[in-house]
């Protein structure tokens, strides 16, 4: 995926699973409320496994990789 995973103790496996769940999540829904509810459930489940800092890192790391792959501006920024 292009992310460097830094272990925070024994949570590496849980972190990888959480990162994958954020990266592979469904991104398009019939309406905004349905999409927001889905991501909220995903985040709440992640908080059961990891600290808030690790969940935040996984979420934004997955988002960065997703958008870098899809958008030319993200690819250019990464190249800098």
Q: What is the mean pLDDT of residues 1-30?
A: 81
> 31-54: per-residue pLDDT in tens?
999 999 999 999 999 999 999 999
* Between 54 and 78, the higher pLDDT residue: 54
Distance of alpha carbon 56 from alpha carbon 52, whole angstroms: 6
pTM of the model: 0.74
Burial of 68 (0-12, 13-18, 19+ CB in 10 A): middle
> 52-73: per-residue pLDDT in tens?
999 999 999 999 888 888 777 6
Residues 6 or more apart from 23 whose CB is under 8 A from it?
1, 62, 65, 66
């Amino acid at each position: 995926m292009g992310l460097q995973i830094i272990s925070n103790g024994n949570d590496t496996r849980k972190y990888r699973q959480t990162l994958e769940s954020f990266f592979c999540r469904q991104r398009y829904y019939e309406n905004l409320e349905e999409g927001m509810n889905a991501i909220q459930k995903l985040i709440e489940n992640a908080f059961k496994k990891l600290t808030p800092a690790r969940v935040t890192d996984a979420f934004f790391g997955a988002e960065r990789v997703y958008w870098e792959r899809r958008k030319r501006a993200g690819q250019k920024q990464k190249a800098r």
